[in-house]
Chains A and B, each alone.
Chain A
Amino acid sequence: MKRLVNILGVLLTTALLTAGVAAAASLNLGTGQLGAGSAAVSGCTSSSLTATRNVNNSGDVTEVDVLNVPQACAGEVLSVTLQGTAGASLGSAVAIVGTCTGGCTAPVTGFGTVSAASLTGYAVSLVQ
């Protein structure tokens, strides 16, 4: 009988634990009411930072530098797309903003072979 009591105790506890986890896992899947809300996410910058590019002697883009990135953006994901005529993408690359003192220059490389002469602009995004 003592063994039966212990077994029942373990089973009961396990059932309660499973119910807790199951309840947690089932969040958002139930048919109850939806509670909605919003909260502002404060990013490291809201400025449209200036980008400039370097070229090799053949005139192909070797690197895009995004200038004056705030220190607070260190570790965030920076994406640059080189745009051609009518905004067509000529190449894209992604970099992680590094740490620095003062305003950072964030270099982005890996665009492939893109002639600077065909560039009409940049599309830049920062996940922050």
Chain B
Amino acid sequence: MRAFRLTPLRLVAGVALGSLSFAGVGYAASLGLSSKSLHAWTQTLTKGACNQTSSTADDTYVQQAGPNSNSGATDTTLTIGGAAGSQDYAFLRFNLSGCGLPTTAGADSAVLTLTVTSKSNDTISVFPVFTGWSSSTLSWNGVGGLTIGSSATTTFVPSSTGALTVPVTADVDAAIKAGTFWGWELRDTSGTSTSAVGSSENPAAGKRPSMTLNYEK
């Protein structure tokens, strides 16, 4: 048998194969060294209720036919009309500051109760309002300066007089998280009739708007 002769080619081949062998060992040696840790925690929620009455409500309606007029302080009903050229929009909100809710809280359920004093078969759409307004100053011409949601949260048809309930959970939940709550605009979006609901100045306490609010924080 001839002696094995180390040629340059054999040397390169040997180094290459040896490197592959060490790479295999190196790969195996690194197994198990890449680790993650699990960080786990829990958070407990507290439930409560903070129902709203006319004492924390602010409401008004604005008239296209009287674009600079304001009727928030005196009118006992909120008129909602859909006739072109003489539309009426109602605005309603509650002051939730007494609830003491942090912005990490949320509404489990929020239901508005309105009393229809003048009925119609038109659809009334409820749009969230995102900027401040006051019943003592708001007029038709002032509505353009407000930021109002482009989509209605919900709708209702005031087809009979008396109390009706309107779910508004999503809006109140979002308002709690935003830290400000500016209520809703109620607009006739289907016809030309006029309807009305009792305002917070209505002499009959049972006809004033209210809202049940169940929250978690």
Is B a genuine binding partner of A?
yes
Q: Which residues of A contact B (CB under 8 A)?
A: 1-2, 4-5, 9, 13, 16-17, 19-21, 23-25, 27, 39, 41, 43, 45-46, 48-59, 67, 83, 115-117, 119-128
Q: Within the assembled complex, what's the spacing in Å between the Cα atoms of A83 and B39? A: 18
CA distance A14 to B25 in the complex (A): 15
As a 0/1 sequence over residues 28 to 51 of chain B, the CB contacts with chain A under 8 angstroms (1 = contact) are 110100011111111111000000
Contacts of A48 in B (CB 8 A): 41, 43
Which of B58-66, B87-95, B105-113 lines the interface with chain A? Answer: B105-113
6 contacts across the A-B interface (CB closer than 8 A): A4-B1, A27-B31, A55-B108, A58-B169, A123-B42, A126-B40
Contacts of B40 in A (CB 8 A): 123-126
Beyond A21-B25, A57-B154, 8 extra complex contacts between A and B, CB < 8 Å: A1-B1, A9-B4, A21-B24, A24-B28, A41-B37, A123-B40, A127-B38, A128-B36
Asked if B216 is at the interface (CB within 8 A of a chain A CB), the reply is: yes
Contact A46 B39 (CB under 8 A): yes
A45 touches B109 (CB 8 A): no
- Among B21, B44, B167, the residue within 8 A (CB) of A58 is B167
| Residue of A9, A21, A24, A49 with highest tally of chain B CB at under 10 A | A24
From the candidates A4, A19, A56, A127, name the one contacting B170 in the complex (CB within 8 A): A56
**Docked CA distance A20–B21 (Å):** 5
Convert B139-175 into 0s and 1s, putting 1 for each residue whose CB lies closer than 8 angstroms to a CB of A: 0000000000000011000000000000111110110
Question: Chain B: residues with CB nearer than 8 A to chain A?
Answer: 1-2, 4, 10, 13-14, 17-18, 20-22, 24-25, 27-29, 31, 35-45, 104-109, 153-154, 167-171, 173-174, 177, 214, 216
- Grouping DSSP codes into helix (H, G, I), strand (E, B) and loop, the B interface class, with mixed when no group exceeds half, is mixed
Q: Which residue of B lies closest to A61 (CB)?
A: B106
5 shortest interchain CB distances as A-B pairs: A20-B21, A24-B28, A48-B41, A125-B40, A57-B170
Q: Among B13, B43, B107, which residue has its beta carbon within 8 angstroms of that of A121?
A: B43
The reply to whether B35 and A50 form a contact with Cβ atoms under 8 Å apart is no
A25 to B23, CA, bound (A): 12
> Is B216 touching A119 in the complex (CB atoms < 8 A)?
yes
| Cβ distance B7 to chain A, nearest Cβ, rounded Å | 10
